[in-house]
A and B are shown apart, each in its own frame.
Chain A
Amino acid sequence: MENILEVNDLKVSFNTFAGEVQAVRGVNFHVKKGETLAIVGESGSGKSVTTQSIMRLIPMPPGEIKGGEILFEGTDLAQKSDKQMEKVRGKDIAMIFQDPMTSLNPTMKIGRQIMESMIKHRKIAKTDAKKRAIELLDLVGIPKPEQRVDQYPHEFSGGMRQRAMIAVALASDPKLLIADEPTTALDVTIQAQILELLKDIQKKTNTSIIFITHDLGVVANVADRVAVMYGGKIVETGSVDEVFYNPQHPYTWGLLASMPSLDAEEGELQAIPGSPPDLTNPPKGDAFAARNSYAMKVDFEMEPPMFKVSDTHYAATWLLHEDAPKVEPPAVVQKRIEHFKEKAGER
């Protein structure tokens, strides 16, 4: 399958009074046609900055793309002017934001908000656009779309607003959909519905999706592949099965161990100790070393390269070096993996 998006060595910085914050420090990933890539990481790991850079939505200044390429269907978005980007945004790449309560304009009818990008990019008549808006509202599972199309956001519930937001994003049949924590602001039952909806839409329209989340439970549900980000870099990437059943990076272990689970035996919630690195002054070696109980001397001195685990699975940790001691993931993580496998078996 061909790559619809290829990000090579992307570097994004913010120039602040405190100095240059290197929010994204050389990120590589790709997205294939029709697949879902999940980018996982804690707050401040650079996942949102990475995806907003793809759409060039970060404010510049203070933001700045320091280097690298963003190849969308072969053309480099990093080199495009703002005017040229207007033709890509909404038409080829669309975005769903985290908080549906604030990402819709409160004084504009839902229908008009959906129609806007259609009229702009597809140049279709208003009446046709409205028909299509009603179809889209129907597609995202909003009942009585003919009436809803003329309502304002405050007449929608949170979950309904996120559905409407998805309809806005789908308006011009984008080839790539970026969902930036689309379920974080919603309660759990609505979360599950929205995830189902996204999967459903992908099946129908064959759109590629980049799904940003800090919730590994969500990843297992929707993604084909996973990229784990930490300190502005991707530290592990692989298929969902590879990352869940055979995690290599100690940070991934930490994430897996800290997943809250109803049926886990251990009573305590495991947290990763310490706090994320200061990206105005990024650490020299592995950014995670300071919080890593498995860190070796080399971790503090040299940045680990991406070690190959399989053709699709890579991780940036010195533990994979041939000279490194053999380390097993902690017992909690091993238990979790067993648990995932059992659950997968049941399915």
Chain B
Amino acid sequence: MLKYIGKRLLYMVLTLWVIVTVTFFLMRAAPGSPFSGEKELPPAIQANLEAYYGLDKSLFMQYVDYLISVVKWDFGPSLKYKGQSVNDLISEGFPVSFALGMEAIFLALALGVLLGAVAALRHNKWQDYTAMIIAVLGISVPSFIMASGLQYVLAIKWSVLPVARWESFAHTILPALALASTPMAFIARLTRSSMLEVIGNDYIKTAKSKGLNSTEITVRHTIRNAMMPVVSYMGPLISAILTGSFVIEKIFGIPGLGMHFVTSITNRDYSVIMGVTVFFSVLLLVSILLVDIAYSLIDPRIKLADKKGE
């Protein structure tokens, strides 16, 4: 197990290097620079700025410098936000995005599995149809419409929850709901179809023949075997949600990480683009590793050990 994780970490470093390289050169291939704006800067100032940020060196030297700083986990100063480093931006934004994301993931997982399980157990009855209508709505209604709808009904009409900002737990509920609605619907559909498949299995009949009631059968025999597709969906979902959704953060005025993803690109803020990309990649790679470990915990037939070693 430890050997396996070590090996995976090695691969992760390799993947990360590819990502850094590709992003670095792609970003530079795009026209424009962080200092190009409506007003031309005097050439002397421009040259000074470039020298200050190391942009006057050859592209290859810049790349080497950047690789070294990534290894030191130092993403350098932001080119647009004066006096702030990329590390500052991430350490300010990420905790907010993390809290919001965890809440949304928890909601999506709990409600999604519940909805999917009810739909599967009451297959082709009204509960199934209701759950699937909710799921189709969740998938097809974009999150910004969901967000505005929630704000309108719960915050403005009934005024039970605050409209926006990031201050107390009550402030987190609406954005978390809006962020969770699509993944929840997705998880509900995955759970339903996978549970229907498991219910048809012989071992469920065996469980019934032991005299277990339907709750015991579902909890002990069905759910666990039906969770695999949901777990594989969780990997990319976790990193996408944790790094924040730009739209939701914008609508609710939340100072998360999502904003930097979008604004850094239009700003040509090279160091921020690279920083958030590397950060996102690390998150994605770690959550995929966690998913693979979760697989082997759920299904004993999946072995993490190296095949050749056996």
A residues near B (Cβ < 8 Å) are 55, 57, 83, 85-91, 94-95, 97, 99, 102-108, 116-117, 120-121, 152, 154, 165, 168, 171
Contact = CB atoms under 8 A, between A and B. Distances in A.
B212 A94 contact: no
Given A107-B298, A107-B300, A152-B301, A97 B206 contact: yes
Contacts of B206: 95, 97, 103-105, 165, 168
B224 interface: yes
Contacts, number: 76
Interface in B261-310: 298-301
A133 to B, nearest CB: 13
Interface string B179-206: 0000000000000000000000111011
B203 A105 contact: yes
A106 B207 contact: no
Given A83-B213, A85-B211, A117-B212, 4 more contacts: A94-B210, A116-B207, A152-B300, A152-B301
A155 to B, nearest CB: 8
A116 B201 contact: no
Interface residues of B, number: 21
Given A102-B203, A105-B221, A168 B299 contact: no
B305 to A, nearest CB: 14
A233 B285 CA distance: 62
A154 B300 contact: yes
B28 interface: no
A86 B213 contact: yes
B225 A106 contact: yes
Interface of B: 201-203, 205-213, 216, 220-221, 224-225, 298-301
A53 to B, nearest CB: 13
Contacts of B300: 106-107, 152, 154
Contacts of A87: 211
Contacts of A107: 224-225, 298-301
A144 B216 CA distance: 30
Nearest to A165: B206
Most A-side CB within 10 Å, residue of B201, B299, B300: B300
Most B-side CB within 10 Å, residue of A85, A108, A165: A108
B203 A55 contact: no
B211 A121 contact: yes
B210 A102 contact: no
A97 B210 contact: no
Given A106-B301, A107-B225, A89 B202 contact: no
B212 A97 contact: no
Given A106-B225, A107-B225, A107-B298, A168 B203 contact: no
